[in-house]
Amino acid sequence: MPELPEVETIKNELLPHIVGHQITGVTLFWDGIVRQPSVGEFCSRLIGQRLTRVARRGKYLILSLTSHEVLIIHLKMTGSLLLKPASAEPDRFIRAILHLNGETAIHFRDPRKLGAMWLVEDENTIIGKLGPEPLEAEFTPQILLTRLSKRRAPIKALLFDQTFIAGIGNMYADEALFAAGIHPLRSGGNLSPDEVGRLHRAVQQVLRNGIKNMGASTDTYYRPSGETGFAHHHFQIAHRGGKPCPACGTPIERIPIRNRGSYFCPKCQPAPK
């Protein structure tokens, strides 16, 4: 499930192979992957464009084109972008192919068909409501404290709310809360300034570690080369229900929050109230 570190890795590894290349063709195996504009418009306006820049915002990839339009891609839960030779046969989960000059192609693989692409003139129509980038200078402990004040929702729910802060999903939210020693059901607005400081530091640390390890291949995440990432080998808490807490040995618990499995240590992360 690609979150910020996975999308950042994909961006970094895709970039040198595609910037400066021209889109020579588009093949769609599932039309639903195109959200905007119509499928016909999407393909005809894309063909002939050169890619000038690849960027990331939250979990979105933004590919800039010579027409000054942007191709925005979201991988949702099970999507990956694979670099393939032009002659490669698509497997049964490939939903779209972007053919590039220079005998390469980008295969958009997505078993669960939740992924999406948009071709728009103004990227803000798609990503305009995202919260701050957690690894940018704008994201300070003070900003986090201000944004948390008066919020009653569980801190876990706020961490993976993309309008609250961009790029964090279920796994890295659990990892950050464990590193900060904060129970996932604590109300956001009730955290002390000291706890907010620890959480700010923990968020940046787990995301940077994720990037350093080229993302977490817990499910269907692959890098553009088809290789897996390694970040899941370093997870302390996420997806480790029943196993001993790495800090104190207490069995890790799992509770649903907003329909997501949330893993935490009941001793290192004391329950609210």
**Cα 155 from chain centroid?**
19
Strand partners, 62: 55, 72
When binding is defined by CB under 7 A, the residue of 22, 52, 67, 162 that contacts DNA is 162
When binding is defined by CB under 7 A, the residue of 124, 152, 194, 242 that contacts DNA is 152
Using rule CB under 7 A, residue 159 touches DNA: no
Q: How many residues bind DNA (CB under 7 A)?
A: 37
Write out the two tokens for 44.
Answer: 């005809």
Please identify, among the stretches 38-46, 175-183, 195-203, 259-267, the one whose residues bind DNA according to the rule CB under 7 A. 259-267
Cβ-Cβ contacts under 8 Å for 88 (sequence gap 6 or more):
105, 107
Q: Amino acid letter at 105?
A: A
Annotated catalytic, 3?
Answer: yes
Residue among 3, 6, 8, 69 flagged as catalytic: 3
Q: Would residue 166 be called left, alpha or beta, if left means φ above 0 and alpha means ψ between -120 and 50 degrees?
A: beta
Using rule CB under 7 A, residue 273 touches DNA: no
Annotated catalytic, 223?
Answer: no
Using rule CB under 7 A, residue 260 touches DNA: yes
Using rule CB under 7 A, residue 3 touches DNA: yes
Least Cβ distance, residue 47 to DNA (angstroms): 26
- Contact of 188 with 151, CB cutoff 8 Å: yes
Annotated catalytic, 2?
Answer: yes
- Contact of 168 with 4, CB cutoff 8 Å: yes
Cβ-Cβ contacts under 8 Å for 49 (sequence gap 6 or more):
22, 23, 65, 66, 67, 69
Which backbone phi and psi does 10 adopt, to 5 degrees?
-60, -45
Using rule CB under 7 A, residue 261 touches DNA: yes
Residue among 56, 57, 59, 186 flagged as catalytic: 59
Using rule CB under 7 A, residue 132 touches DNA: no
Annotated catalytic, 138?
Answer: no
When binding is defined by CB under 7 A, the residue of 14, 33, 73, 74 that contacts DNA is 74
Distance (Å, rounded) from C-alpha 237 to C-alpha 268? 11
- Kindly list the residues in this chain that would bind DNA in the complex (CB under 7 A): 1-3, 32, 58-60, 74, 76-77, 93, 111-114, 126, 150-154, 157-158, 160, 162, 169-171, 188-189, 239, 254, 256, 258-261
Q: Which residues are catalytic?
A: 2-3, 59, 260
